[in-house]
Amino acid sequence: MQGIWTTERIRAAEDRLLAVTPDGELMRRAAFGLSVHAAEMLAEHTGSVSGRRVTLLVGSGNNGGDALWAGAFLRRRNVAVSAILLKPERAHGPGLAALKRSGGRVVSLEDGPQWIRRADLVVDGIVGISARGPLRPDAAALLEYVSAPVLAVDLPSGVDPDTGAVDGPAVVADRTVTFGALKPVHALAPASCGEVSLVDIGLRLSEPDLQRLDTADVAAAWPVPGPDDDKYSQGVVGVAAGSATYPGAAVLAAGAAVRATSGLVRYAGHAADVVRGHWPEVIATGSVTDAGRVQAWVVGPGIGTGHEGRDVLRFVLGRGVPVCADADATTIIARSPDVLDARDPDTPLVLTPHAGEFERLMGSPPGADRVAAARAAARKYDAVVLLKGHCTVVAAPDGRALVNTPRGSWLATAGSGDVLSGLLGALLASGLDPWLAAGAAAHVHSLAGSLAADDAPTSASGILGAIPDALRSVRSLTS
């Protein structure tokens, strides 16, 4: 698991460390690491370091101080460094002195654009973890001239450090070098951060506020049959999805469940013939009432939101097994919360809303703080909530939260959510902790999406087809 800490926690840990570290030492550690990454980027993009031009955008806080010190270190490698000070009277004193001593140039805000245009690399030291609100106009104006690769100091300026939300102009970095520990922005705003690198400055932190699954966590959690297993012992999943008119959701959800684990898959609903045609290994019946025993249900994709869908949902909630309520099932719960009376409070429920379904469930959209939103919904429904979007957030009623950072946006395609629910249902049936099951399913779903796409549009069927490759890739770490 990768830990992620809020800026409040980071600041407290920094204060503790600062108290026992010589003055300026932490910043120099941070800035030296930053300069190594800057040199690496110069070499990558231009083929050399010496003689190249770096322009620093320098705000009035320590983030600007990091940039100035890094500039001084780069001077030692014969890089031409210029610094644009947004507030010259409040620039970090020791950093500015170090840059000047090393032969770096300080340029005025008015001359800034030409130095940005001529740069081989732009370093964003405008603002770091003390950023508040949208980027100020003088800083925002400079960004219009940037065409060179950008290295963000700690985080891309203009992006909220704790939520990753972007409200107005913001830096889009090719690489972000952060210090001590990952902050929420790094997991929640991948398109703004670019590649994220962590420089160790010796921070000590306890329990993280937010987590991210490593591939190794997913590999360790994913169920694999052993010598004594049979088709029942690995967990049987039931899929209640689709309709005669719209059988696609059923085919996708059942197919994802088939590919996720080697346990048995049952299907119940009006698309039984179509599902059987696609997946002969699925035991398909017309109704949940004669589906047979399962260890978890996936319910909702394509079942409609009328009384029949409501009856199906109520029936599966009453079976005493974990339920993944997706798509139409979330809408039914939002409109008729009394269906949840059928649920035994001790059996896990996973809700998988996208933003629109979330708004129906909670009465307002997720807003900028998607982690807080998912946590609130998890508490309200006493359920694990998987909030879909570019980044997927999974929160448990006990407050645990994780985020899945995607590789691109190819998952934004029709039916992709049905594939996710099938994966998740199969993991629930195997007995995995529902929060971990949701996180692992999201991880494999997004990996399958990027493998299927391979830089060109794909489809839900393509994502489904790439599940075995995604699992092979995840498991290759363990073999």
Ligand X SMILES: Nc1ncnc2c1ncn2[C@@H]1O[C@H](COP(=O)(O)OP(=O)(O)O)[C@@H](O)[C@H]1O
Could you tell me the two tokens for 369? Answer: 């703080």
Residue 7 binding K ion, by CB under 5 A: no
* Shortest spacing between CB 458 and ligand X, in angstroms: 11
Q: Smaller CB distance to ligand NPW: residue 24 or 465? A: 24
Q: Which one of residues 127, 181, 260, 452 is an interface residue with ligand NPW (CB under 6 A)?
A: 127
> What's the CA gap between 401 and 393, in Å, rounded?
7
Return the number of other C-beta atoms located less than 10 Å from residue 390's C-beta. Answer: 16
**Cα maximum dimension of the chain:** 81
Q: Smaller CB distance to ligand NPW: residue 129 or 373? A: 129
Could you tell me the two tokens for 202? Answer: 């010796």
Site for ligand NPW in 201-240 (CB under 6 A): 201
On whether the CB atoms of residues 102 and 71 are closer than 8 A, the answer is yes
Q: Smaller CB distance to K ion: residue 58 or 284? A: 58
Which residue ranges are tagged as binding site for (6S)-NADPHX?
Answer: 62-66, 128-134, 154, 249, 302, 354, 418
Q: Smaller CB distance to K ion: residue 148 or 153? A: 153
Window 418-437: contact mask with ligand NPW (x via CB under 6 A): --------------------
**Binding region for ligand NPW (CB under 6 A) out of 98-106, 122-130, 189-197, 370-378:** 122-130
Return the number of other C-beta atoms located less than 10 Å from residue 166's C-beta. Answer: 20
Q: Which one of residues 2, 55, 63, 305 is an interface residue with ligand NPW (CB under 6 A)?
A: 63
> What's the CA gap between 152 and 140, in Å, rounded?
14
- Taking CB atoms, the residue at the shortest distance from ligand X is 417
Residues interacting with ligand X, by CB under 6 A?
Answer: 327, 354, 388-390, 392, 406, 409, 411-412, 414-418, 420, 445
* Shortest spacing between CB 396 and ligand X, in angstroms: 18
Return the number of other C-beta atoms located less than 10 Å from residue 173's C-beta. Answer: 26
Q: Smaller CB distance to ligand NPW: residue 180 or 301? A: 180
Could you tell me the two tokens for 9? Answer: 């926690």
Which residue ranges are tagged as binding site for K(+)?
Answer: 63, 124, 157
- Look up tokens 């992006």; give the residue: 159
* Shortest spacing between CB 370 and ligand NPW, in angstroms: 20
With 0-12 / 13-18 / 19 or more C-beta atoms within 10 angstroms meaning exposed / middle / buried, residue 107 is: middle
74 binds, among K ion, ligand X, ligand NPW, none (CB under 5 to 8 A by kind): none
Q: Smaller CB distance to ligand X: residue 43 or 412? A: 412
409 binds, among ligand X, ligand NPW, K ion, none (CB under 5 to 8 A by kind): ligand X
Alpha-helical segments (H) within 241-338:
248-260, 272-278, 307-317, 328-335
Site for ligand NPW in 15-54 (CB under 6 A): 18, 26-27, 30
Return the number of other C-beta atoms located less than 10 Å from residue 132's C-beta. Answer: 7
Q: Which of 137, 144, 99 is nearest to 122 (CA)?
A: 144
Residue 153 binding K ion, by CB under 5 A: yes
Return the number of other C-beta atoms located less than 10 Å from residue 121's C-beta. Answer: 26
On whether the CB atoms of residues 314 and 307 are closer than 8 A, the answer is no
Q: Which of 247, 184, 263, 273 is nearest to 430 (CA)?
A: 263
Which residue ranges are tagged as binding site?
Answer: 62-66, 124, 128-134, 154, 157, 249, 302, 354, 388-392, 417-418
124 binds, among K ion, ligand NPW, ligand X, none (CB under 5 to 8 A by kind): K ion
User: Residue 301: CA atoms inside 13 Å, Cβ hemisphere, count?
Assistant: 32
Q: Would strands 392-395 and 384-387 be described as parallel, antiparallel, or unpaired?
A: antiparallel
14 binds, among K ion, ligand NPW, ligand X, none (CB under 5 to 8 A by kind): ligand NPW
Q: Which one of residues 14, 124, 160, 217 is an interface residue with K ion (CB under 5 A)?
A: 124
Could you tell me the two tokens for 60? Answer: 């009035």
List residues near ligand NPW by CB under 6 A. 14, 18, 26-27, 30, 59-64, 66, 126-136, 139, 153-154, 179, 201
